[in-house]
């Protein structure tokens, strides 16, 4: 399905910040940023993952849907996402990780994309090693995140890592998968997953 809005200006002209969506970010003196540009009700669970991975160590950025329904209207594809704070923060960083969700309620799985092939491979190997299902995407895949226009690749190094988590995988991270429930009901699997990414990004210089 095509996005309702082709860029942030179009979205902001029709939707109300603080009512329909919210933008939050934390700037840290770090060369790493964790982002969920489809957070809140758009691709559920990605906001919570982003906050936990970033902690107080890395910068983070969240664009979150707040609607009671139809949050998909707020989805701006990664190659068109141009909210000014997001662009400023990612271009100041050397490493970027973006968290996304895709629709699959049956299989717990992670699709690993982005242009940073070295870090992608580290993420794949570590997720598999601790028991998660994952795959490295070919550049031809529509979810590969390899396009230079993708916000994940707009770092100083011109590359980043994009993770697409299935609905089933994101559901497994919470015992109560509602906006309020996700704040306090993270499962052991949630922390096992985020620890993988903390370990990998913590070792990058």
- Cα-based torsion angle of the residue sequence 92, 30, 179, 4 in order, rounded to the nearest 10 degrees: 10
1 has pLDDT over 80 = no
Whether residue 154 lies inside any domain: the answer is yes
User: What is the pLDDT averaged over residues 34-45?
Assistant: 98
Whether residue 3 lies inside any domain: the answer is no
User: What is the pLDDT averaged over residues 158-186?
Assistant: 96
In this predicted model, what pLDDT tens digit does every residue of 120-161 receive, in sequence order? 999 999 999 999 999 999 888 888 999 999 999 999 999 999
Whether residue 1 lies inside any domain: the answer is no
Per-residue DSSP letter, 137: P
CATH, residue 65? 3.40.630.100
Average pLDDT along the chain: 97
pLDDT score, position 26: 96
Contacts of 106 (CB under 8 A, 6+ apart): 168
In this predicted model, what pLDDT tens digit does every residue of 22-39 receive, in sequence order? 999 999 989 999 999 999
Reading the block at residue 60, the tokens are 């983070």
User: What is the pLDDT averaged over residues 81-93?
Assistant: 98
User: What is the pLDDT averaged over residues 68-92?
Assistant: 98
Q: Which domain holds residue 126?
A: 8-202
pLDDT score, position 192: 98
Whether residue 34 lies inside any domain: the answer is yes
pLDDT score, position 193: 98
Is 0.85 surpassed by the pTM of this model? yes
Whether residue 165 lies inside any domain: the answer is yes
pLDDT score, position 142: 86
Whether residue 2 lies inside any domain: the answer is no
pLDDT score, position 173: 98
pLDDT score, position 36: 98
Number of domains in the chain: 1
Whether residue 18 lies inside any domain: the answer is yes
Whether residue 152 lies inside any domain: the answer is yes
In this predicted model, what pLDDT tens digit does every residue of 98-110 receive, in sequence order? 999 999 999 999 9
């Amino acid at each position: 399905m095509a996005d309702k809005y082709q860029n942030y200006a179009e979205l902001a002209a029709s939707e109300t910040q603080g009512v329909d969506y919210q933008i939050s970010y934390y700037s840290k003196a770090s060369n790493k940023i964790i982002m969920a540009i489809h957070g809140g009700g758009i691709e559920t669970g990605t906001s919570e993952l982003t906050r936990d991975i970033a902690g107080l160590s890395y910068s983070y950025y969240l664009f979150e849907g707040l609607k009671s329904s139809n949050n998909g209207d707020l989805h701006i594809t990664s190659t068109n996402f141009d909210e000014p704070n997001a662009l400023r923060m990612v271009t100041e960083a050397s490493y970027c990780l973006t968290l996304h969700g895709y629709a699959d309620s049956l299989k717990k799985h992670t699709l690993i994309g982005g242009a940073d092939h070295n870090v992608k491979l580290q993420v794949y190997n570590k997720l598999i090693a601790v028991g998660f299902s994952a795959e490295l995407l070919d550049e031809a895949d529509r979810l590969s995140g390899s396009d230079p226009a993708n916000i994940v690749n707009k770092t100083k190094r011109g590359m980043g890592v994009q993770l697409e988590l299935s609905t089933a995988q994101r559901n497994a991270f919470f015992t109560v998968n509602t906006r309020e429930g996700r704040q306090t009901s993270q499962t052991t699997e949630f922390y096992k997953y985020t620890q993988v990414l903390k370990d990998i990004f913590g070792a990058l210089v």
